[in-house]
Amino acid sequence: MKEKNMPAELVKIAYKAGLLIMDIYQENFDVNTKTDNSPVTIADKNAEELILNDLCNIFPDIPVVSEEAYSNGILPDFNDKFFLVDPLDGTKEFIKKNGEFTVNIGLIKNELPVMGVIYAPAKNIMYFSDEKNNAYELKIDKNFSGSLKNAKKINTNSYDIKNLIAVTSRSHNNKKTNEFLRDYNIQETLLLGSSYKFCLLACGKADIYPRLSPTCEWDIAAGHAILKAAGGNIYTLDGDELRYGHKDNNFINPHFLARHY
């Protein structure tokens, strides 16, 4: 498989996972608790199985680090190039049935995100970046065939320190986050679940997203790639670009600031 076809292949995989997730979403399902006290459903597990199977078949030379597998003690050997997968980001929102959940597939090279796909199946919208460092939005309908021809190129807002729109986590917001935002000219704050927050920054509908509570690398790698291709980036609170592959820290991210510039 030539790498130039990777965005289309990743979009197809995310779309297939989204179909599976939405089938379960429409039904009653059990909610279990993992060892870290986070919730997990059959949708998380089945979507990951599909994604891992397709990635391993299409890109057999690229290792995959994925949330549910890692939770079960499964971690492949990886070096400077690997996928980070969250098959159902925003499980709490999936359980609440508010539509704010996503499928995340990110590609890492030399500790940095270089390509990403985020699919919000309940919203029928896909975001992705390509190897040429472009970011796109693609509306998905029931006749979607996998073609990217109707994808619309997206960009972040031009930098303006006035009247910023902030996004924060619906389920993990805290006092530190609210205090952090007091240093900025915030006109409006949106509460949202999952990596969908990065998509709003990437397409210019929001400007800043501080995260001062725990996240894992698979939660944000795809969003980081898309935001970076659209003109933004994610930084640690020390001002360094966020990096990936920290298995010695259980793939837990430091606190960070995602912004549109």
Q: Which CATH number fits domain 3-153: 3.40.710.10, 3.30.540.10, 3.40.640.10, 3.40.50.150?
A: 3.30.540.10
User: Half-sphere exposure of residue 96, counting CA atoms within 13 Å on the CB side?
Assistant: 13
pLDDT tens profile 56-101: 999 999 999 999 999 999 999 999 999 999 999 999 999 999 999 9
User: Residue 2 — very low, low, confident or very high, per pLDDT cuts 50/70/90?
Assistant: very low
Please, which pLDDT band fits residue 160 given cuts at 50, 70 and 90?
A: low
Alpha carbon separation from 216 to 115, 179, 213, 252 (Å, rounded)? 18, 23, 10, 4
Structure tokens, 34? 């993992």
Q: What percent of the chain has pLDDT over 90?
A: 91
- Structure tokens belonging to residue 221: 């790698």
Q: How far apart are CA 76 and CA 29, in angstroms?
A: 30
Does pLDDT of 4 surpass 80?
A: no
DSSP states along 181-234: HTTS-EEEEEEE-TTHHHHHHHTTS--EEEE-S--BHHHHHHHHHHHHHHT-EE
Name the pLDDT band for 1 (thresholds 50, 70, 90).
very low
Residue 251 Cα distances to 70, 135, 165, 176, angstroms = 10, 25, 29, 22
Q: How far apart are CA 14 and CA 29, in angstroms?
A: 21
The CATH 3.40.190.80 domain(s) of the chain lie at 164-259
Contacts of residue 199, defined as CB under 8 A and 6 or more positions apart, other chains included, come to 118, 120, 125, 127, 137, 223, 226
Phi then psi for residue 170, to 5 deg, are -65, -40
Q: What is the pLDDT of residues 110-146, one digit of tens each?
A: 999 999 999 999 999 999 999 999 999 999 999 999 9
For the segment 215-258, what is each residue's pLDDT rounded down to a tens digit?
999 999 999 999 999 999 999 999 999 999 999 999 999 999 99
Q: 46 — phi, psi (to 5°)? A: -70, -40
Give the containing element (helix H, strand E) for 197. helix 196-202
What token pair was written down for 174?
């805290």
Q: Are 119 and 126 in contact (CB under 8 A)?
A: yes
Predicted confidence band at 159 (pLDDT cuts at 50, 70, 90)?
low
Instruction: Please report the pLDDT score of residue 163 as a whole number.
Output: 87
Q: Name the pairing type of β-strands 81-89 and 102-109.
A: antiparallel
- Looking at CATH, the fold of the domain delimited by 164-259 is given as D-Maltodextrin-Binding Protein; domain 2 (3.40.190)
Residue 234: both structure tokens together: 């994610």
Q: Do 210 and 180 form a contact (C-beta atoms < 8 A)?
A: yes
Predicted pLDDT at 33? 95
Residue ranges, comma separated, of all CATH 3.30.540.10 domains in the chain are 3-153
Predicted pLDDT at 124: 98
What's the rounded mean pLDDT across residues 1-17? Answer: 85
